[in-house]
A = this chain, B = another copy of it.
Amino acid sequence: MSRFSKMPEPPYYAVIFANQASKTPEGYAEMAAAMGEIAKTLPGYIGIESTRDADGFAITVSYWESEEAIKGWREHAKHAIAQQIGKERWYEDYILRVARVERQYSFK
């Protein structure tokens, strides 16, 4: 399966989530997978690109058709995370940015 997202005609939106996972991210992969599964079912979802190195530094970029779609995703994400809070503390640190994709290029 491709690890790249689809590339519809811009403009569309990117949620850039850079995060440093805590040293013992038990349940992290499961939570991330579950959230990916939820994202796919939501209106306006385009795709997701995600990678994480051995030190736990991860970047996940999800792509959405509109700001509206991002709002929907945020509500679901909050809910999913809230269910887990207190069990684990995955992120030591994160930055989340919402950006409007203006243009794109690819090579294969």
Measured CB to CB, the residues of A under 8 A from B are 3-5, 7, 14, 16, 18, 20, 49-54, 57-59, 61, 91-108
Decide if B101 touches A96 in the complex (CB within 8 Å).
no
Number of copies: 2
Decide if B95 touches A7 in the complex (CB within 8 Å).
yes
Query: Which residues does chain B contribute within 8 Å of A100, judged by CB atoms?
Result: 99-100, 102
Decide if B57 touches A59 in the complex (CB within 8 Å).
no
Which of B16, B104, B105 is close to A61, meaning CB atoms less than 8 Å apart? B16
> Could you list some 29 contacts between A and B, CB below 8 A?
A3-B18, A3-B20, A3-B57, A4-B93, A5-B95, A7-B95, A7-B97, A14-B14, A16-B16, A16-B101, A49-B95, A51-B51, A51-B57, A51-B58, A51-B59, A53-B53, A54-B54, A59-B59, A59-B61, A93-B107, A94-B107, A96-B105, A96-B106, A98-B101, A98-B102, A99-B99, A99-B101, A99-B102, A100-B102
